[in-house]
Structure 1
């Protein structure tokens, strides 16, 4: 038998296998459609909606502006939108519907409270500026009780959280809840975190798992183009990396090192909460952290001659004046502990130098505000975790 004959036989075998696989796939899809159509617990056809799916709102970002905190080893760029895009356009409310009580996400969303309205919470969960939005088309209406178990199996890919919201028959988008009825669904995967951007492997995993979830709940995901999503994710991560500013103020002992036991009592009297890892956190009065303090030694150490107060700049709202509060605390501790405020090179920091840094922080906050990611906002807290 010649090589040509062998090649023809092999090609014929591949063709037959392809046709067989295609037919089996079509048979599987048809069977799933029939099962959904004739399932005993299918949704009431009177609850179907003719509304069109929510269109994906694409953020427009422009990097390249010089950061006001460049002297502090931060090189952020400018992250700007042509116009803030609302998450969804509300549809007319269904008069006979009753809104269900919202159920919080698996993990509390930073910057929200139990009293946050469902519509506002939905905008924070699936945010067109920092999330890749994926509409899921459903035939008719679906009940939260029926789809929640499947949705709970897909919470994150890599370290990127995934959230789901639904368009309720009450006329608003809200987190998926027990007792809710939804005519449209939407998934959102966060495109960047403090450490990494959403990558091709994570996105492929998301699409595969989301299609499986869609088959289970009777929904078809409308997946955005991977190349476009990866470009947005990398741009967003450049913004996050460029604005990842943390400011430290050091206290150096003027005399003998401070005994840890004495130091802990002094810091607790100053208002710090002790963490299990040996760090101290200053509460912001609203359940968050204003700034932290480290003793710069291991948990088993007996004494230290240096403390470091640290402000996570993008995570503290300007109204709380985290830097001003941190400097005020540092000055009070210098009197309490007989210490001097120094920089990383053990040089004393004058009031003039501290005022200059405060001005840079104010400019940094203005830049974040102009980029539609205000410091301390839910959007910022999601990105800078």
Structure 2
């Protein structure tokens, strides 16, 4: 099996190398016979200049931030030095299935961006530079610079960029350096002098692998040809090392923290239970799970009846907090325990752990301290719980 795997990697490498040589030859011919005349329709006064000398971005999680936008390279946010820390918090909560990121539909008209923005992107008050960082994040994405031969309008490149939005389950986003000097999502009506792509290195389920990266490289060169750009594709070995490092962090911090409510008497009738949960403030989901939201509409925690939709009764409820997806300021654990205690009085129940042992206030206080330590670890890795970065990784 090892020889077969090695042979497969070798064949993929040979094919990729041949494709790259073919691509280089094609570009050389195009440059040899290209016209030297500028497209005056692509200029906006004297401000539109040819792209400056390329500054290659760094792809290591352990290196310093990139130069700012003024130097022509995409600026990375600050992050901590060294390897991502190993966690010490391991709650005995019930595990739930980890859904792969859902494929977003292609953007259609007008001012739609080239890639779906995470969480806060719909807020027009978010500065373009901050929104650009949330789309192409040097800490969790492999940066894919696309050097344009000439400034270009967003509407001319959006159709080509839409063709490469995912490799496997990993999203691919794009931003552009506008003539204003700001990096921003690519929209109609704006002229861009540089482009930057980014593929997410890891998700809750898997890390970016060699086959996905080879597919990405091949498809990206095709997109680059359509928009007259020169792609700069990082070395696969370096990218795979970063992807595995990031996925180790995600896997070790994928904490689902749960508490259970056990009936003190007969099992609860589902029809009666629904009314009590709705009065408690839960929203009903089509899969039979209930979610509790905060005042801003964000999900704090969920509730499961632990039975199928066809069942008529249940003796046990489970409240579940997705720890890395809820910011400490929202106090998801405190809200979940307060809700559990309210349901205890409403439903005549007892708060128990996974082994059906009662959880005392002292035990809950100890768990709250572990949650606080868990949040501190995520902060030290520059991936704060509940942040746009964390929501992308743990979606």
Q: Matched residues in 2 for 1:71 and 1:261: separation? A: 32
Flag the 1:309–1:221 CA change in 2: closer, same or farther, 3 A. same
Residues 274-312 of structure 1: per-residue CA shift (max 9 Å, x gap): 000000000122232100000000011111110000000
Deviation of 1:38 after TM superposition, in Å, equals 7.0
- Deviations along 1:159-186, whole A, 9 cap, x unmatched? 1000000000011000000001011100
2:375 pairs with 1:365: yes
2:65 match: none
Does residue 165 (structure 1) correspond to residue 175 (structure 2)? The answer is: yes
- 2:29 matched residue in structure 1: 30
Specify whether residues 48 and 252 from structure 1 end up closer, same or farther in structure 2 by C-alpha distance, changes over 3 A only.
same
Stretches of structure 2 lacking an aligned partner (at least 5 in a row)? 1-20, 63-80, 95-109
- Tell whether the 8 Å contact from 1:136 to 1:184 is kept in structure 2 after alignment: yes
Counterpart of 2:365 in structure 1 is: 355
Identify if the C-alpha distance between structure 1 residues 292 and 25 changes in structure 2 by more than 3 Å, giving closer, same or farther: closer
Q: Secondary structure at the match of 1:364?
A: helix
In the alignment, structure 1 segments of 5+ residues that lack a partner are 1-21, 75-100
Deviations 1:296-337 (A, max 9, x none): 000111111100000000000000000000000000000000
CA distance in 2, matches of 1:24, 1:129: 30
- The residue number in structure 2 matching 1:103 is 112
Aligned ranges 1:194-343 → 2 under 5 Å: 194-343=204-353
Decide whether the 8 Å contact of 2:145 with 2:196 is kept in 1: yes
- Write the distance in 2 (CA, Å) between the matches of 1:25 and 1:55: 19
Contact 2:258 2:319 survives alignment (8 Å) = yes
Cα root mean square deviation, aligned: 2.6
Map of 1:68 onto structure 2: 88
The SS at the match of 2:119 is coil
Counterpart in 2 of 1:55? 56
User: Is 1:117 equivalent to 2:127 in the alignment?
Assistant: yes
Tell me what 1:43 maps to. Answer: 42
The alignment's TM-score, normalised by the length of structure 2, stands at 0.80
SS of the residue corresponding to residue 245 of structure 2 reads helix
User: Secondary structure, in 3 states, of the residue corresponding to 1:189?
Assistant: strand
Deviation string, structure 1 residues 24-78 (Cα, Å, up to 9, x no partner): 973675247746767979734963334233531332164475533135489xxxx
Relative to structure 2, which stretch is displaced further, 56-65 or 207-216?
A: 56-65
Counterpart Cα distance in 2 of 1:64 and 1:172 = 30
TM-score by length of 1: 0.82
**Residue 177, structure 1, aligned to residue 187, structure 2:** yes
| Cα separation, partners in 2 of 1:184 and 1:133, compared to 1, 3 Å | same
